[in-house]
Amino acid sequence: MSIPEPPPFPSDLYGGRLTIDLEALAANWTELNGKVDSRTECAAAIKADAYGLGQERAGQALFEAGCRTFFVAVATEAIALRAQLPQAVIYVLNGLFPGTEDHFVRHHIRPVLGSFCELRDWAHICKAAGQNLPAAVHVDTGIHRLGLSPAEFSAAMADSDLLGPFVPSLVMSHLACGSVPAHPMNRRQLDLFREITAPFPQIPRSLANSAGILMGSDFHFDLVRPGIALYGGQAIDTQANTMRPVARVEARIMLVRDVPEGDTIGYGARQTATRPLRNAVVSAGYADGMLRRASSSDERPGGFAMIGGYRAPILGCISMDMITLDVTDVPQELLQRGALVEMLGPNVAASDLAAYAETIDYEYLTSLGRRFERVYAPLT
């Protein structure tokens, strides 16, 4: 379910701004859709409030671009999306909790079933309704999270008590190592998925996430499910990212101050000024999704921001509400109190920040806080 946006206040009251480019989001879906042939449907993963950027607005933009099938994580997200997009096909990746079947039926949303318990519960509700209610079946090809094992899948497909009441609308699996195309796990999963689904050519199949789309047609099958690439993220570690950036985070300068050589900066005195420095303190922190692990210290560099084309490294520990930047080499006219500094966006890729934070760009996007002013506009 989308989290309600904060009430509007004058822009200058916010410590920062999150700008979301829905045109870029739609363009990214169109580009990914163009990488599959006409027999393959391009869906969209908009779980976690559309990777932190707003499910309601993102879902509408993608539907208008031509997307008709959506994947979310939990039923509350699906119910909210159904109210907005009555004609969409909506799958719930995290499956079916006991006693929730009626909600799925009432709102015409489809669970992704990954256990015998879920299959039995869904078969029971189909029998009670006297109709084949669509649902996906998830088979585990090696990631060992959700999904039936290959042996369980074969047994389930042969069980008339389970598959008599309904025929799966989709059989899917999930790649464990798609961000590294050369990893042998990708080919093992592909071969296993082909093998276990081959006896059921009448059922649509889906294996590819964003990385799977980019790895080529072998992985595409009948439906692909892009996520991170839609939002401008880096799907494959070893390839240039051609997706358009969708989000920009800017934080306001609170003050600029001088730090003498030899003094330390921030909590824990983790970083020492190795020369006379000029610091800018900006109004954003880990409460806003600027991950603390991207902090800087004497032992390792941290992330950075951009100010008018100048790189401004993070100095010291990122705190809850503020970050200190090294602006020694930034012209003074760009450092006015209240001015906005780019913390993430076209010039500071989430994947770059993620490398400093020893994480992935998914975490940055889904962690963006609610204290920023949210603006839906092109990233000009």
How many CB atoms neighbour CB 371 within 10 A? 17
Say if residues 321 and 283 touch (Cβ distance below 8 Å).
yes
Instruction: Report whether 204 contacts 6 (CB < 8 A).
Output: no
Q: For strands 373-376 and 16-20, give the pairing.
A: parallel
Residues 150 and 139 sit within 8 Å (Cβ to Cβ) = yes
> Annotated catalytic sites, by residue?
47, 267
**Most distant pair of Cα atoms in the chain: their distance:** 77
Query: What is the phi/psi pair of residue 22, to 5°?
Result: -70, -30
The three-class DSSP label of residue 70 is: strand
Residue type, 242: T
- Whether residue 70 contacts residue 24, with contact meaning beta carbons closer than 8 Å, is answered with no
For 201-242, the DSSP string reads TTS-EE---HHHHHT-GGGTTTEE---GGGGT--S-TTS---
Report the first-to-last Cα separation within the chain, whole angstroms.
Answer: 30
Instruction: Report yes or no: 312 and 304 within 8 Å, Cβ to Cβ.
Output: yes
